[in-house]
Structure 1
Amino acid sequence: MPNEYRPAPDDAAKSARYAIVAAEWNRDDITQPLADGAVAKLTEAGVPDEQIDLVWVPGAWEIPVAVQRLADTCRYGAIITLGAVIKGQTSHDHWINHGVTEALMRIATEHSLPVQFGVLMVNSREHAVARAGGEKGNKGAECAEAAMQMVALLKSLPTS
């Protein structure tokens, strides 16, 4: 039988500190509901408000810089990223999506830190709204749930 690792059954997730980095762009109907969903999921699970830091950046492109700064502090059990990049008439969205994705994965692996990817990459505003608390659920809440699971899992994994 192989060794199997699962999230630790203790309070690791509740005692961790979380950062949420959200883009101001599309805030009214997309990123604010995503952030609200993430905060609600964390607090429902017992994470105190004082262990949640919400950082607003201008747009999705700026998310990795803030995440890098936060990761460098070693204060966080996980960082949740939230934003929306909506396809336009040019390939601009492709390059934003590629750059942000690559940078966040690099930060996560370099720091062995869960960086949950809640940057919506969609074809229309309607698709984004549907994923920000609409008919497709709330991606912010989903990212918060995954962040807590990863905090607990990393606690149970060997370190050497």
Structure 2
Amino acid sequence: MKRIALVCGSYHREVVARMAAAARERAGELGLEVVAEQWVPGALECPLALQRLLARDDIAGAVLLGIIESGETQHGLAMGQAVVQAVVNLQLATGKPVGMGVIGPGAEPQHIEPRLLPYARKAVDAVAEMLS
């Protein structure tokens, strides 16, 4: 059984916890075992947490879960772009896949609920496919 980790943004902890539960369930359905779960303050802390987890020999891949809401400035977009670039670089450096289950950037409140579970599940699906 392949082992994976979850990295979860705690800024929207209540709803991201639901995403994490869906990701754990989907991982089990696909024969993956979640062996680590790291909660981070926000999007910018995700790459460092991922780097530490992907450095572990017992972790074959990871799933990133969170929400980057729309704001009055382009801050969320800049954060989202920085995080995606860092995650791509980590995948290439480690050879380990990362599933992106991040809603946004630019998510409006009405966008969040219908995307929670599908984004979490699809992020796990992506990792499972890359590990097969």
Report if TM-score (shorter chain) is over 0.5. yes
Q: What amino acid is aligned across from residue 44 of structure 1 in structure 2? A: E
Identity over aligned residues, as a percent? 26
- Could you give the per-residue CA deviations for residues 63-83 of structure 1, whole angstroms, max 9, x where no partner exists? 101001111223211110011
Q: Which residue of 2 aligns with 1:52?
A: 35
- SS of 2:72's partner is coil
Match of 2:108 among 124, 130, 155: 124
Which of 149, 153, 156 is equivalent to 2:129?
Answer: 149
The alpha-carbon deviation at position 41 of structure 1 amounts to 0.4
Are positions 1:24 and 2:4 aligned together?
no
Q: Does 1:107 align with 2:86?
A: no
Instruction: Answer yes or no: is the 8 Å Cα contact 2:2–2:31 preserved in 1.
Output: no
The answer to whether the Cα contact below 8 Å between 2:8 and 2:40 also exists between their aligned partners in 1 is yes
Which 5+ residue runs of structure 1 have no aligned equivalent? 1-14, 153-160
2:67–2:107 contact (8 Å) kept in structure 1: no
Q: CA contact under 8 A between 2:32 and 2:128: conserved in structure 1?
A: no
| Aligned residue pairs, count | 131
Inter-partner Cα distance in structure 1 for 2:57 and 2:67:
27
- Structure 2 gaps of 5+ residues are none
Deviation at 1:28, TM superposition (A): 1.1
| Partner Cα separation in structure 2 for residue 114 and residue 47 of structure 1 | 13
Match of 1:155 in 2: none
* SS of residue in 1 equivalent to 2:32: coil
Conserved? CA contact 1:60–1:119, under 8 Å: no
> In structure 1, how many angstroms separate the alpha carbons of the residues matched to 2:107 and 2:26?
27
Larger radius of gyration: 1
Q: Measure the CA separation in 1 of the matches of 2:107 and 2:125.
A: 25
SS in 2 for 1:74: coil
Q: Which has the higher strand share?
A: 2
Normalising by structure 2, we get a TM-score of 0.92
CA RMSD of aligned residues (A): 1.4
Q: Tell me which residue corresponds to 2:119.
A: 139
